[in-house]
Structure 1
Amino acid sequence: MTLAEDDWHRRKQTVELPGSGRMAFVDTGGSGPALLMLHGFSDTSRSFAMLEPLLSGYRLIIPDMPGHGGSELGKGTRISDFATSIVSLLNQLDVTPVAIVGHSMGAMTAIVIASRGDLRALILLSASLKPDFGSESSISGAIRSLHDPIDPSGTFLREWYACTVPVDPDFLMKMKIDAAAMPATVWHGILEGFACTDLTPNAVQIISPVLCIGGSSDPLFGLSHRQDLSGAFKSVRSVTLEGHGHNPHWEDPQLVAKHLLSFLSEIRGS
């Protein structure tokens, strides 16, 4: 299975990172402040395609996470490995983002990056400090059962990419094709990494203002995860979007962008 070939795919640039291999990314350019945007487990930079036109005042740096899309896996499948590779990308590009916007696994990676150094602001979509799905859960079993080639039209990816609010089916199909191109071993490795991840020690080190946005109907990281996030950061604003699921930036990009831009405006004006 190959990646979905379209304009988004063709916009990607690549760099070679020392010790991590090739990383693909979209850079929207422009003179505005830079935002680093990190997607979730099995997604690609395409995840932020619907937010991009709503953030035109910013330069968006949107990588394919290691092992996803056009990026090589690099050092490993743990959140800390991903964070190291992303910091290497920023150093290679000589970019200091005004904030990081992370979704799900990308939000976890953003937490680790923010705990390692100064950052103006952190915006987390559908995040978790302890993302273990549980060894006996149906979702863990389904991921462990994946083998190559993965069917983008199969039951697993149909359920994995189910959204509470209707999303453009063509967009979702491209997401599924991209996800199916990721080797099953990478799926398995990330699942194993999630099982031993606890980002609470990282979160309590962060002094930057944090905005947490989550859907009230998120099937992966529900109320308890949102409560843990609210209690961990020194400065946090929590927003729950009623009726939204794990992908609110697909389900209602205008609403997510409104919260994001308002928060960034406050931070930049402070």
Structure 2
Amino acid sequence: MPLAEIPLCVWRTRGLNFSFRGQTIRYWTAGQGEPLLLIHGFPTASWDWHYLWTPLAQRFRVIACDMLGFGDSAKPLHHDYSLLEQADLQQALLAHLQVEQPVHLLGHDYGGSVAQELLARHHEGRAQIASCVFLNGGLFPERHRPLLIQKLLLSRLGWLVGRSFGRDDLVRNVTQIYGPCTHPSESALDDYWSLIASNRGTRILHKLITYLPERVAHRERWVGALQADGVPLRLINGAVDPISGIHMLERYQELVPDANTVMLQGIGHYPHTEAPVQVLRHYLAFREQPLVNVPQRVAWS
């Protein structure tokens, strides 16, 4: 049975605000129980989790925010955006909500890199992470295959590329990274565009894209966090994603001890919107197992 959608107009009414370093951040929380932090990807926002939000909130205390520069949060123009600062933001949100117990993480794409930083902080004694599940993302930058638009945003003319980026460009790029049978509807594309364009967001796309070289700079520490013992991990991966699909899963299996992975056949870069029922099933199965490192296995779906 398909999961119910939360329309963006409804999602927006449920958000709350808090201040992070003088900037307004939009966040959402629901449910009770163990805290589960959902961390979205680039260039969208926390609405990406809307199919999973209600079923997860029936079991856990779910928490998500539009990170700085994304969605309906502040998008300051003269700002140097950083994955490290986004990890600071996630910890500040948890402190704002008075979450003191270890937190479970579910991160996608850009949010997966933020989760890697939080995982590294856990192993350094600066965060408390209970478990971490990754959806498609550039966990190993040497296997990440950026789109042309991402390369252009990183160029000297990136500011111009970003300011000229429009809905048609979004559609053209999104159709490249979804599965062949799971493309978003026109209505969903309108909503994605609304979140990107909110607060004149196209002016800062070239600043947000600096996460790509930042991944390279922190690669050893972040991969080391994946290889360390003590925090249960799983990768749920859309296999046909051209950016970080099966080639990223294979690298994960090469480098992560006792790699716990799930491959979703025919699914692209956004498993949680393309195949939310499967993602929910595989996430809940992960949470139901004992919180210890488990032997290597690959699930197919």
Q: Which category describes the TM-score, using the shorter chain as reference length? A: 0.7 to 0.9
- Alignment of 1:114 onto 2:119: yes
Q: 1:169 aligns with which of 186, 189, 199?
A: 186
Secondary structure (helix, strand or coil) at the match of 2:266 reads: coil
Q: What TM-score do you get using the length of structure 1 for normalisation?
A: 0.86
Q: 1:92 aligns with which of 96, 101, 104?
A: 96
1:177-216, Cα deviation, whole Å (9 max, x unpaired): 2123352342112223312423342232343111101111
Give the corresponding residue for 2:134.
Answer: 124
Q: Which consecutive unaligned segments of at least 5 residues does structure 1 have?
A: none
Give the corresponding residue for 1:230.
Answer: 253
Identity, in percent, stands at: 22
Give the corresponding residue for 1:249.
Answer: 272
CA contact (8 A) 2:162 2:206 kept: no
**Counterpart AA for 1:173:** D
CA contact (8 A) 1:161 1:176 kept: no
Give the corresponding residue for 2:171.
Answer: 158
CA contact (8 A) 2:72 2:195 kept: no
Q: Which consecutive unaligned segments of at least 5 residues does structure 2 have?
A: 1-6, 123-127, 294-301
Q: 1:203 aligns with which of 223, 227, 233?
A: 223
Q: What TM-score do you get using the length of structure 2 for normalisation?
A: 0.78
Distance 1:263 1:249 in 2: 15
**Counterpart AA for 1:82:** Q
Instruction: Please report how far the alpha carbon of residue 235 of structure 1 lies from its aligned counterpart in structure 2 after TM superposition.
Output: 5.0
1:99-157, Cα deviation, whole Å (9 max, x unpaired): 1000100011011011101311101000222448679x6233554353436432x1x10
Distance 1:43 1:197 in 2: 19
Do the aligned partners of residues 161 and 39 (structure 1) sit closer, same or farther apart at CA in structure 2, a change above 3 Å counting? same
Alignment of 1:189-200 (within 5 A): 189-198=207-216, 199-200=219-220
Give the corresponding residue for 1:45.
Answer: 46
Tell me the C-alpha RMSD between the 2 structures: 2.6
Moved more, 59-68 or 89-98: 89-98
Give the corresponding residue for 2:15.
Answer: 12
Do the aligned partners of residues 235 and 35 (structure 1) sit closer, same or farther apart at CA in structure 2, a change above 3 Å counting? farther
CA contact (8 A) 1:121 1:267 kept: no
Distance 1:134 1:190 in 2: 17
Do the aligned partners of residues 80 and 234 (structure 1) sit closer, same or farther apart at CA in structure 2, a change above 3 Å counting? farther
Distance 1:168 1:255 in 2: 19
Distance 2:120 2:252 in 1: 14
> Higher helix fraction: Structure 1 or Structure 2?
2
Distance 1:5 1:213 in 2: 25
Distance 1:20 1:254 in 2: 38
Distance 1:53 1:64 in 2: 18
Runs of 4+ in 1 over 6 A off after TM superposition: 132-135
